[in-house]
Structure 1
Amino acid sequence: MRNGVAGAAYRGRTASIGFAHGPFVRVDQLESAQRAAGSLVDEALALRSAIDTASQQIVDLAAIAGGEAAQILEFQVALLDDEDFMAVIFAAIGEGAAADAAWRSELDKQIADYGAAPDEYLRARSSDLADLRDRVIRALQGDQRATLGIPSGAIVCADDLPPSQFLEIDWSGGGGLALLQGSPTSHVAMLARARGVPMVVQLGTIPAAGATALLDGEGATLELDPCAEQIGSFETRREVHCKSRAAARAILRRPAASWRGERIKLFINIQRVEDLDHADAQYADGIGLMRTEFLLTNNGGLPDEETQFQAYDAVLRWAGQRPVTIRTFDAGGDKPVSGFTPGGEANPFLGVRGLRLCLARPEIFAVQLRALARAAVHGNLKVMFPMVTSADELEVGRKLFVQVVAELQANGVAAALPELGIMVEVPAAALAIPSFKASFFSIGSNDLAQYVLACDRSNGALAGLLDPLHPAVVELIKRTAEHGQRTGISVSLCGDMASDPRCTSTLLNCGLRELSVNPSTLAQIKQTVDGLSNGGNHG
């Protein structure tokens, strides 16, 4: 059934649960096309125009996407603004090379260099560079479209797909994503889950041909040109899935979730104020994680105090008396920010990021703390620091926060010091959890698993090893939760594990009673807890 005949089925790994039936569209590397070259001046002007077009497309996508996706797109914009890099390409044009040939030649070199880098983070950037290369080439060839022109509801298939291409596809009409390579822990997978797009990765080699396809994100299968029997079986599975989701939404309106007689608080994760428009958000017990990195990409610069205050205040007003946990800037690692994060780090995931970066740039950090202190006056605000390794870091951050509040109050500005907690995502913090004088803890399971298992979560080749339910990861989660139970300090988990119903039973058995999930999975997780409470086994 794997020779391209009708009804062929292929199995991969689930990245985002859901079902899609639609036209099969293969997105492959841009093919070379003949282009008439002009004079040296014409070629230089053509490339500059194409770069401007590509840059504007990326900036527009970043503005729409926000959050972590926007941070990834910033990498491409930064390269286009690199004068030394661009000088090499324009020099080649000055020596007689056509604009597309000069651009492709230099980008191919960069892609090869990144692809051969010893650091996995840098290797992952090669696909972003390939996307940028093709985007500029398309503009040079006269294609000014900001989108790929993929029909609504299509099953999109590619070797891999950079975030920018995912974001320019219209998923409002359904559809799904089938990757021959890819990883369930990649940024594209996170985007797919957040938007409810079915996604299967690591499908291996499949034929380019196919008119229609069935994508089963639950069973991790792709079926090309399905026969009537396959369609019937697929529709049955989809109907069961839809009924389950409908039942889950009905459960949202019921009283709070409970397990073994204890209330389970279900919060939501957000990146932008607009995320609160999700229909299910209103049923959350509060906001367990508001990522603030999206503010760093607005208008291409660092946000001022008032911009930040307005965003935080809007979220707190929406929540009313429900708690809102806002995480301070978690820049660095795979989220570089021009003018803020350091460049040239050999291993950014283990570099100056999170709280480390904020403490190294107190002039930027203080602006955020001022905005948070002002917002704390109007709601139930909790603030947590990311990427904390030692108790001393927490105390330095607390001291700076206290100082900011005192200065505001001295100047007659209403301000308050909110509860302060930390993200538990560095193994050292989990192992030494009693040493932290925090008001609360929030476990970041994505980075915790990455660091415990020594597996880059963006590397599809390691996806089989990056098991969030690995005993070592579970042990650190349990250790942190038990410390919270002994001391009366609240402990929540806000990583991908919280949104995965396959992990719910394990997390509850570890002692966690607070989970923060994506708005799109709130109903499903509440249904899972309800099923466990009634004797079901979803773990």
Structure 2
Amino acid sequence: MPTPLEFKGQTASEGFAAGPLWMARNEAKLSYQPKDTCEADQQALIDAITQASARTTELIAAAEGDAVDILEFQLAMLEDDTFSSSACDLIEAGLNADVAWREVLDAEIAGYESSDDDYFRARAVDLQDLRDRVLAALTGTDMQTIPQGAIYLADDIAPSLFLSHDWTGGGIALRDGSVTGHVAMLARQRGIPAIVGLGAFESPEAASALLDGDRQSLILAPSEDLISQFKLARQQFSETRKNAEKFADKPARTADGTAIRILVNIADPAEVETIPVTHVDGVGLMRTEFLFALATGLPGEEVQYLAYKKVLDWSAGKPVTIRTVDAGGDKPVDGFTETETNPFLGVRGIRLALKNPEIFRVQIRALLRAAVHGQLKVMLPMVSVPQELDEAILLFEAEAASLAGVGIVHRMPEIGIMVEVPSVAILPDRFCRAAFFSIGSNDLTQYVLAAARDNGQLAYLAKADDPAVLALIGKVAEYGARQGVDVSLCGDAGSDTSVIEKLLATGLTSLSVAASRIGLVKSEIAQIDLRKMP
């Protein structure tokens, strides 16, 4: 019997899959036959882009939720002549059509891949997807077909390939990838098991494999004992998920009857299309970085207004907390952010917004206009001193006066702050002008423990249940209760069922969680008795 091999990664989408391993085809083997003239090569590229656009339109028609937004983003990029014009210029300079297209796209991809932030690296996969679909059309190559029930192994996977495959019984194992990437998000939405960050290794085609979300691993040639453990864990997982679904549409309450607010985190307006508004108490965090990562450049006021309005319309009057652009640091945005030697401690979040008021004012106007469509709350990221909050409020007041002056309907929303920097958590009373506080457990943990959250070697330190982090969370919760100021937590810790009891023990009564975790979080809360807390 072959010796079992186990490769550890990160669980991007929970679950279990067993089946043959199927490895991605090497697309580098695509071969293009150059045309006789430069003009013919240019036309061949234009035709290939048109074909790829048509295929993307077909996928959009069959997609829903987040998938639609991802594909529409790709279609917009295909229809924008920026890439095609640059490639045609290179063809005129003497390059073949395939080389020219690859060179233009690879340069753009490199810019996204150089980011230290998972969100922006996820956009690189979109660009790789576009590049490869056009190359496939240019060379007359069919898209690869993955056998049903197989565990797909690759460095990464394009959204279009993910969306065109029936994953029933199968799963995804990626050597690279990201837990916040688009495919990871889609996999969680559809309940497809996915492990990322497995690292480089070789494996025989069609090897028997287990994808184990609990162990965060891919197991090849498993022994009978490992198969038995896998089956038991899979059965327990299935029972847990089935039980959790019973809680999804019910109010969250602890065993002693304490009501806990459960809000939802979203990164893209399209996500609300798959979230029943009756399952949550509102949106605790809407990130706006997705708007600022568009290939078409910084978003205008109307683009932002429509995105915010979409979520407020969905919310049916429940509160929607939208965070102003949290760019900078590990989230670069072309034309906005700066290159720094120590980005986590640099010009990021509210610091960057205040330094670029001409960009910030556009977002403020969009938010003020959108506020009339629901219960909008605006949250400022990376606030460190009260002066930053004061300056932001002045900008909101100035833009509100400007809109009033020209008769544009608007409303001033509540303005609160993220609690990510220890200076806020230590002395929250300094920020008395904040209408509410929302604790960003990811950044707060990295700053308290001096451990960069994107450094895999320090993952053992990046835990929000560290006593020092919990003490600061408790300090903010106590301040909120004493002063009647709303306090919530919107970081990843709120979705981690192993940490929830400790979070509630600090005095928190409001959590904003990932959409896929709503039922599980409510189920966990129902088992907690706060009367028995020390």
TM-score bin (small chain): 0.7 to 0.9
- 2:174 equivalent in structure 1: 179
User: Offset at 1:266?
Assistant: 0.8
- 1:420 equivalent in structure 2: 415
Q: Given the two structures, how large is their TM-score scaled by the length of structure 1? A: 0.77
Q: 1:393 is aligned with what amino acid?
A: E
Q: 1:143 is aligned with what amino acid?
A: T
Q: Deviations over 1:53-91 (max 9, x none)?
A: 7799899999974899799989x9899947998699558
- 2:24 equivalent in structure 1: 27
Q: Deviations over 1:456-505 (max 9, x none)?
A: 54555554554444455444434433433343322211122111112212
Match of 1:200 among 166, 187, 195: 195
**Residue 532 of structure 1: SS of its match in structure 2?**
coil
**Residue 215 of structure 1: SS of its match in structure 2?**
strand
Q: How many residues align?
A: 525
Q: 2:419 is aligned with what amino acid?
A: V
Contact 1:67 1:291 in 2 (8 A): no
Counterparts of 1:242 and 1:235, CA distance in 2: 11
- 1:283 equivalent in structure 2: 279
- 2:512 equivalent in structure 1: 516
- 2:258 equivalent in structure 1: 262
Counterparts of 1:77 and 1:447, CA distance in 2: 36
Q: Deviations over 1:289-339 (max 9, x none)?
A: 12234445679465554554444344334333432212223344555555x
- 2:492 equivalent in structure 1: 496
Does 1:370 pair with 2:368?
no
Does 1:328 pair with 2:324?
yes
Q: 1:328 is aligned with what amino acid?
A: T
Counterparts of 1:364 and 1:113, CA distance in 2: 22
Alignment of 1:38-77 (within 5 A): 38-39=35-36, 41=38, 42-43=40-41, 46=44, 65=66
Contact 1:183 1:463 in 2 (8 A): no
Contact 2:489 2:511 in 1 (8 A): yes
Q: 1:240 is aligned with what amino acid?
A: Q
Counterparts of 1:321 and 1:38, CA distance in 2: 59
- 1:396 equivalent in structure 2: 391
User: Offset at 1:275?
Assistant: 2.5
Contact 2:83 2:104 in 1 (8 A): no
Q: 2:523 is aligned with what amino acid?
A: Q
- 1:141 equivalent in structure 2: 139
Q: Given the two structures, how large is their TM-score scaled by the length of structure 2? A: 0.78
Counterparts of 1:306 and 1:140, CA distance in 2: 36
Q: 2:495 is aligned with what amino acid?
A: S
Which is further off, 389-398 or 477-486?
A: 477-486
Contact 1:23 1:211 in 2 (8 A): yes
Counterparts of 2:317 and 2:110, CA distance in 1: 53
Match of 1:356 among 338, 351, 354: 351
Contact 1:71 1:294 in 2 (8 A): no
Q: Deviations over 1:263-287 (max 9, x none)?
A: 2111112234443333554221222
Counterparts of 1:451 and 1:77, CA distance in 2: 40
Q: Structure 1: where are the runs of 5+ without partners?
A: none
Which is further off, 411-420 or 40-49?
A: 40-49
**Residue 218 of structure 1: SS of its match in structure 2?**
coil
Counterparts of 1:141 and 1:55, CA distance in 2: 16
User: Offset at 1:350?
Assistant: 5.1
Distance 1:102 1:172, change over 3 A: closer
User: Offset at 1:508?
Assistant: 1.6
Distance 1:239 1:68, change over 3 A: same
Does 1:249 pair with 2:278?
no
Counterparts of 1:109 and 1:479, CA distance in 2: 47
Counterparts of 2:337 and 2:121, CA distance in 1: 19
- 1:408 equivalent in structure 2: 403
- 1:216 equivalent in structure 2: 212
Counterparts of 2:356 and 2:79, CA distance in 1: 20
**Residue 237 of structure 2: SS of its match in structure 1?**
helix
**Residue 153 of structure 2: SS of its match in structure 1?**
strand
Does 1:484 pair with 2:512?
no
Counterparts of 2:249 and 2:397, CA distance in 1: 40
Q: Deviations over 1:100-148 (max 9, x none)?
A: 4566689889999999x8x856996997587676555444423375xx5
Counterparts of 1:32 and 1:313, CA distance in 2: 46
Counterparts of 1:162 and 1:209, CA distance in 2: 18
Counterparts of 1:457 and 1:68, CA distance in 2: 28
Distance 1:331 1:111, change over 3 A: closer
Q: Structure 2: where are the runs of 5+ without partners?
A: none
Q: 1:25 is aligned with what amino acid?
A: W
Contact 1:66 1:271 in 2 (8 A): no
- 1:155 equivalent in structure 2: 151
Q: Deviations over 1:397-427 (max 9, x none)?
A: 1111122223334444443222111122344
Distance 1:258 1:133, change over 3 A: same
Counterparts of 1:107 and 1:320, CA distance in 2: 42
Q: Deviations over 1:160-213 (max 9, x none)?
A: x26757765646646322233556577765564455432234445351422553
Which is further off, 452-461 or 49-58?
A: 49-58
Alignment of 1:415-494 (within 5 A): 415-436=410-431, 437-452=433-448, 457-458=453-454, 460=456, 463-494=459-490
Counterparts of 2:290 and 2:305, CA distance in 1: 14
